[in-house]
A and B are shown apart, each in its own frame.
Chain A
Amino acid sequence: MLAKRIIPCLDVTNGRVVKGVNFVELKDAGDPVEIARRYNEAGADELTFLDITASSDNRDLILHIIEAVASEVFIPLTVGGGVRAVGDVQRLLNAGADKVSINTSAVSNPQLVKDASDRYGSQCIVVAIDAKRVGDHWEVFTHGGRTPTGLDAIEWAKKMESLGAGELLLTSMDRDGTKSGFDLELTRAISDAVDIPIIASGGVGTLQHLVDGVREGRADAVLAASIFHFGEYGIDEAKRFMKQHGIEVRL
Chain B
Amino acid sequence: MSVDIAVIDYGMGNLRSVSKAIEHVAPAASVVVTSDPAVIAEAGRVVFPGQGAAPDCMREIDARGLRQVIIDAARSKPFLGICMGMQVLFEHSEEGDTACLGILPGTVQRFPREAMHDAAGNTLKVPHMGWNNVHQAMPHPLWAGIEEGERFYFVHSYFVQPATPEVIAGFSHYPFPFTCAVASGNIFAVQFHPEKSQNTGLTLLGNFVTWNPGASETACDMSGAACA
Contacts and interface: CB of A to CB of B under 8 A. Distances in A.
Interface of A: 1-5, 40, 45, 70-72, 74-76, 93-98, 120-124, 166-167, 192, 195-198, 218, 220-221, 250
A190 to B, nearest CB: 12
A166 B129 contact: yes
B202 interface: yes
Nearest to A67: B16
> What is the interface residue range for chain B against chain A?
35 or more
A contacts with B: majority SS: loop
A194 B12 CA distance: 26
A97 B16 CA distance: 9
Interface stretch (B65-73, B140-148, B190-198, B208-216): B190-198
| Interface SS of chain B | mixed
A66 B14 CA distance: 13
Contact of B153 (A4, A76, A122, A197): A76
B17 A70 contact: yes
A195 B126 contact: yes
Contacts of A198: 125
Interface string B5-49: 000000011101100110010000000000000000000000000
Interface string B112-128: 01000000001111111
27 contacts: A2-B124, A2-B130, A2-B132, A3-B130, A3-B151, A5-B130, A45-B130, A74-B198, A74-B202, A75-B153, A93-B13, A96-B17, A120-B13, A121-B53, A122-B127, A123-B129, A124-B51, A166-B129, A166-B155, A195-B126, A196-B125, A196-B126, A197-B129, A198-B125, A218-B122, A220-B125, A220-B129
